[in-house]
Chain A
Amino acid sequence: MEKLISLEIDGKEVKAREGMTVLEAAKEAGIEIPTLCYHEKLEPYGACRICSVEVERGGRTQVVASCGYPVEEGMKIKTRSERIDQIRKTIIELIAPSLSDGGVVGKVRELADEYGADTSVFMSTFKATPTRCILCGQCVRYCSEVVAANAIGFVGRGVERRVVFLPERASRFCPTCRECYEVCPTGKIAAETDGSIFPEFSIDDFLSGKM
């Protein structure tokens, strides 16, 4: 039998199974924590940080990503606070310029409204071409962990990071799969491929950054 753990989320007594994350425990208890890079079929990734919550343990408060933080006996979680709201607002504002090309719509728009984020505040300092990709890595991880095709990957580092199709793998798997269309939260993948037949990939496209 799995061990049951009691914890407190937003003042509510919650029971969770050992090994669960705070996010999963909250979900089961009907408490919503926003996410952008989380996908229930995938391993916790912890990249968007929008699911940050405050954890109180032994008198110390710490901000953690709820998607990866394991539940512990007696822990106290706050899913909303001034500090958390500020974090979420700032994250939305920071990611918005990447999306500005297609407009900030969908989930990010909803979150912006919820947390009072000004999606244009960092537009002038962005100084890069909006990619419509928030680098949540769901496509990359889904392609690897669920489809096991490994046709999508990251290249570049820091502000140069981007998602690419890996030519040899993509030309083999993508034409008949396209599951990443559904996974992509910004709709970039579906919008940028023609939808009928996946383009032929060449190593040149890959190296030149066209893909």
Chain B
Amino acid sequence: MPRINSFAELEKLREEIKTKRDPNKPCISVSSGTCGRASGSESVYEGLQSQLEAQALKGEIDLKRTGCLGFCERAPLVMIYPEETYYTKVKPEDAAEIVQSVKEKKIIERLLYSDPVTGEKIVRESDIPFYKNQQRIVSGPNRWIDPKNIGDYLYIGGYSALSKVLSQMTPDQVLGEIKKADLRGRGGGGFPAGRKWEETKNALGEPKYVIVNCDEGDPGAYMDRSLMEGNPHSVIEGLVIGAYAIGSHEGFVYVRQEYPLAVENLNVALEQAEEYGFLGENILGSGFNFHVKVHRGAGSFVSGESSALMTAIEGKAGEPRMKYVHMSQRGYKEKPSCLNNVETWAAVPFIINKGSDWFNSIGTEGSKGTKIFSLVGKVNNTGLVEVPMGMTLRQIIYDIGGGIPKGRKFKGVQTGGPSGGIISERYLDTPIDFDELTKIGSMMGSGGMIVMDEDTCMVDMARYFINFCCEESCGKCIPCREGLRVLSGILTDICEGEGKEEELQTLERIAEVMKDASLCALGATAANPVLTTLRYFRDEYEAHIKDKRCPAKVCKNLITYYIDPEKCQACMICLRNCPTGAIQGGKNLVHWIEQEKCIKCGICYQVCPERFDAVEKLSGEPVPAPVPGREVVRKKE
């Protein structure tokens, strides 16, 4: 493919691609993001491929891999075009039938999504409640695109925003449009992107740099991964547009090494973009030059912090530095640098194409547009969801997420990753946007959303996030490093039943100092999970300390396993599975636990057949004395 040298040539090429493609030709697409692959999408793909060959249909039916479709709970996912028939939990063995059905234009009932409430089978993706309540703008194109094929991106109008910008707009007009759109940074802080661009543009010093932050590291969050894997060209297009507005000719994509597929697809996309003339010298014949380098991260969470990220690109250890002078003034190599997250850059082409008024029509007063969340944890439909800002937590968790599994009760939702907070039920109707979440002590962060049910211990959860930061803090400044160490120590004591009441104040005091005095945002926000759980679930802390009781029955030191002699049917399963031989009794004899030998691994609790349900967890209450040698009372079947 020769380079495209003008805007007209791009449109000509697009027309050619469109003419060559028959929109009615059947196409089987396999959702092949990392999550899909983990569920076996590659073998499904291979199965389909060999079936197409075996049934001699290769010329009649297309087959392709796309990025993640978002409904990870039901992966592997397969879509049949043009009908948009949506198959879930597809196995390689289904391949023959799928190929056959596509040929005969039939639908395979058993692979359709069935509504868990009504049992109704749903054929099309857009009718499934998980999708119906979403507004997939930035993540939407994933479903059409083979990320390794730039033709797919061009087919749906890719790089038309770049072409528009270079042919019809001055850099200031582009900047004005982004400012008017009120696009706020999707990486965590919510800083207005337009203002950051403007500061970089107006800063003294050349060259200026633009950087993509794809160092997503929050536990349970993978929005950026799915975009970088599924639609890397949209990120590249956004970046080039930003570079043009700012007057930058060199950029970086910082992508974590732990995202091999994202690195792979990004590199392929960059090569293709360069080949086609969307990158490099004289882009689309406009005279504008821009080059991008990929920097792979080395497994450090804190490197997602802007100053640490730039230090890492410089080749040093990724540690934050003081930012009293903004990175937009003095960033990478002390030069003006504009860093935005993947999702922010990817939103740019949409804003340019559809206009800031369109973008402004979505969302709330202070937060415009849509946001992708990774909805995970104790929720039925785990996956990536994209919704307009302002949707409530309840709508996301119940209408899209399908509620809590196994009829358990909702307890809290953690938003914003380790820097965010855990929000209780009474705030479920809070419309989510940058400001509202901050008001209730959490934050938007990059969009992680971990749902917790009644079996989650909030003290233990706070400890988990603190320990995460203990390992992931760079350790440079005292409030963060030593503060986290002490927080972890105190929380561990509380979880182990050794906590003291006055320590709750100590937690708050340290959290306050970390917030005020830490070097970077990691330290300043690291105590948020502690502060919010203290605010919304203080009674749980008190139960651990005063009553030596873990209400969720999670903290090992505070629970005892007990076999209910009335329910035990002496089936021997727990007795045989106990790793320490703590379970006594025998055939026809009620089982009981010798507490001194019990290591509280919970295996007996897990293996006890559901119909007996004899093993219980007790916390904060006396354990009835066992009656050795008691004969079993048979339950009537």
Q: Are A47 and B476 in contact (CB under 8 A)?
A: yes
The residue that B481 contacts in the complex, of A50, A65, A90, A161, with Cβ under 8 A, is A161
B220 to chain A, nearest CB (A): 20
Q: Are A86 and B475 in contact (CB under 8 A)?
A: no
Say whether, besides A49-B518, A70-B325, A94-B486, A156 and B475 are in contact (CB < 8 Å): yes
CA distance A52 to B485 in the complex (A): 21
CA distance A44 to B517 in the complex (A): 16
Residues of B contacting A44 in the complex (Cβ-Cβ under 8 angstroms): 322
Q: Is B90 an interface residue (CB 8 A)?
A: no
CA distance A166 to B470 in the complex (A): 25
Residues of B contacting A68 in the complex (Cβ-Cβ under 8 angstroms): 322, 324
Q: Are B473 and A46 in contact (CB under 8 A)?
A: no
- Complex interface residues of chain A between 81 and 116 (CB less than 8 A to chain B): 83, 86-87, 90-91, 94-95, 98
Q: Are A158 and B486 in contact (CB under 8 A)?
A: no
List 10 A-B pairs, minimum CB-CB distance, nearest first.
A125-B489, A161-B475, A94-B482, A68-B322, A158-B473, A46-B322, A90-B513, A49-B517, A63-B516, A158-B475
CA distance A124 to B502 in the complex (A): 14
Q: Is B538 an interface residue (CB 8 A)?
A: no
Say whether, besides A46-B322, A161-B474, A126 and B519 are in contact (CB < 8 Å): no
Total count of chain A residues near the partner, CB < 8 A: 37
The residue that B493 contacts in the complex, of A65, A87, A90, A125, with Cβ under 8 A, is A125
Q: Is B76 an interface residue (CB 8 A)?
A: no
- Complex interface residues of chain B between 427 and 450 (CB less than 8 A to chain A): none
- Complex interface residues of chain B between 383 and 414 (CB less than 8 A to chain A): none
Q: Is A64 an interface residue (CB 8 A)?
A: yes
CA distance A159 to B468 in the complex (A): 11
5 additional contacts (CB under 8 A) given A49-B477, A94-B485, A157-B471 = A47-B477, A52-B517, A91-B517, A158-B471, A158-B472
Q: Is B321 an interface residue (CB 8 A)?
A: yes
Q: Is A69 an interface residue (CB 8 A)?
A: yes
Q: Are B490 and A125 in contact (CB under 8 A)?
A: yes
Q: Is A146 an interface residue (CB 8 A)?
A: no
CA distance A159 to B477 in the complex (A): 11
Q: Tell me the A residues contacting B by CB distance below 8 Å.
A: 44, 46-50, 52, 63-65, 68-70, 83, 86-87, 90-91, 94-95, 98, 122, 124-128, 134-135, 137, 154, 156-161
14 contacts between A and B (CB under 8 A): A52-B516, A65-B517, A68-B322, A70-B324, A70-B325, A87-B516, A91-B482, A94-B483, A125-B485, A128-B485, A158-B470, A158-B473, A160-B475, A161-B474
The residue that A126 contacts in the complex, of B317, B470, B473, B489, with Cβ under 8 A, is B489
Say whether, besides A47-B478, A63-B516, A127 and B489 are in contact (CB < 8 Å): yes
Say whether, besides A94-B486, A126-B485, A128-B485, A47 and B519 are in contact (CB < 8 Å): yes
CA distance A180 to B322 in the complex (A): 24
Residue of A nearest to B514 (CB): A90
CA distance A68 to B471 in the complex (A): 26
Residue of B nearest to A65 (CB): B322
Interface size, B (range): 35 or more
Q: Are A125 and B317 in contact (CB under 8 A)?
A: no
CA distance A205 to B322 in the complex (A): 33
Residues of B contacting A95 in the complex (Cβ-Cβ under 8 angstroms): 478, 482
CA distance A157 to B324 in the complex (A): 24
B321 to chain A, nearest CB (A): 7
Q: Is B243 an interface residue (CB 8 A)?
A: no
Q: Are B478 and A159 in contact (CB under 8 A)?
A: no
Mark interface residues in B194-216 (1 if CB within 8 Å of A CB, else 0). Answer: 00000000000000000000000
CA distance A68 to B477 in the complex (A): 14
Residue of B nearest to A50 (CB): B478
Q: Are A159 and B485 in contact (CB under 8 A)?
A: yes
CA distance A124 to B485 in the complex (A): 11
Residues of B contacting A125 in the complex (Cβ-Cβ under 8 angstroms): 485-486, 489-490, 493
Say whether, besides A86-B513, A125-B490, A159 and B322 are in contact (CB < 8 Å): no
CA distance A122 to B478 in the complex (A): 14
Q: Are B517 and A63 in contact (CB under 8 A)?
A: yes
Residues of B contacting A47 in the complex (Cβ-Cβ under 8 angstroms): 476-478, 519
CA distance A32 to B482 in the complex (A): 25
Q: Is B469 an interface residue (CB 8 A)?
A: yes
Say whether, besides A46-B322, A70-B324, A134 and B478 are in contact (CB < 8 Å): yes
CA distance A117 to B469 in the complex (A): 26
- Complex interface residues of chain B between 324 and 375 (CB less than 8 A to chain A): 324-325
